[in-house]
Amino acid sequence: MKTVPVLRKAISVVDALGASGGGLSAKQLALQLEIPPATCYRILRTLSQANWIREGDRGEYLVAFGLVRAARACSDVDRLLLLAQPLLEQLTEETGLSAKISLREGCHAVTASRAEAKRMNAISTPVGARLHLLEAGSAGVILLANMPDAESRRILGSPPPKHWERNDREEIEREIGEAEKSRVARAFGTVHPSIWALSVPVALAAKQTSALTIVGWPEDFSPARQTTLQKQLKKCGKAIAQLIKSESGKESQ
Q: Tens digits of per-residue pLDDT, 127-173? A: 888 899 999 999 999 999 999 999 999 999 988 888 888 888 999 99
Domain boundaries of the chain, sorted by first residue: 5-63, 73-252
More confident residue, 226 or 78: 226
Residue 162 confidence (pLDDT): 87
Residue 157, amino acid: G
How far, in Å, CA of 239 to CA of 15, rounded? 37
- 61: pLDDT confidence band, cut at 50, 70 and 90? very high
- Provide the residue type at 39 as one letter: T
For residue 72, what pLDDT is reported? 64
- Can you give the pTM of this predicted structure? 0.74
- Side chain identity, residue 72: R
- If you ran DSSP here, which 8-state letter would residue 150 be given? H
**CATH number attached to the domain at 73-252:** 3.30.450.40
C-alpha 221/C-alpha 218 separation (Å) is 6
* 211 alpha carbon, distance to own chain's centre: 9
Decide if pLDDT at 29 tops 90: yes
Q: Is the pLDDT of residue 244 over 60?
A: yes
Gap between the Cα atoms of 144 and 136, Å rounded? 11
Phi, psi dihedrals of residue 37, rounded to the nearest 5°: -50, -45
Question: Looking at per-residue confidence, does 84 or 79 come out higher?
Answer: 84
Query: Domain 5-63: which topology?
Result: Arc Repressor Mutant, subunit A (1.10.10)
